[in-house]
Amino acid sequence: MLDRYLLEGKPPKEEVVATLLRERPNVPGAAPFYEGLKILGARTPDLSLMALRLVLAGKKADDGAVKRLRAIIARARKNGAAASEALASYKEELGRGVEEERRLGLIR
């Protein structure tokens, strides 16, 4: 759901935040993000959600990684040929296989 929100802007952020808080994948480093989600709710900045997505993928959410992911997401949201390339870059940036993400409950 988080991937769909970041890449397509759907479903509404309120729904994404509620789901993340309800189904918190137990990933090292994610706890501070969940606290922020609890406090800010739908006002949580998209950059924070991008950083959380990196952490959920087992990556460091440093400035460079978040900026790269933000640029990839911006290209993906434009649609067209660039979007399919951006989707491949998104998956590469996160670096997890689909089965691992299912196991962690990041996707269904």
- The answer to whether 30 and 38 are in contact (CB under 8 A) is no
Q: How far is CA 56 from CA 78, 79, 83, in A?
A: 25, 25, 23
Which tens digit of pLDDT belongs to each residue from 18-45? 999 999 888 999 999 999 999 999 999 9
Q: How do the domains of the chain map onto residue ranges?
A: 2-104
The tally of CA atoms less than 13 A away on the side-chain side of residue 85 is 6
Q: How far apart are CA 83 and CA 76, in angstroms?
A: 4
Within 8 A by CB and 6+ apart from 4, the residues are 10, 11
pLDDT at 103: 58
The amino acid occupying position 17 is V
pTM to 2 decimals?
Answer: 0.85
Query: What proportion of the chain, given as a percentage, has pLDDT over 90?
Result: 62
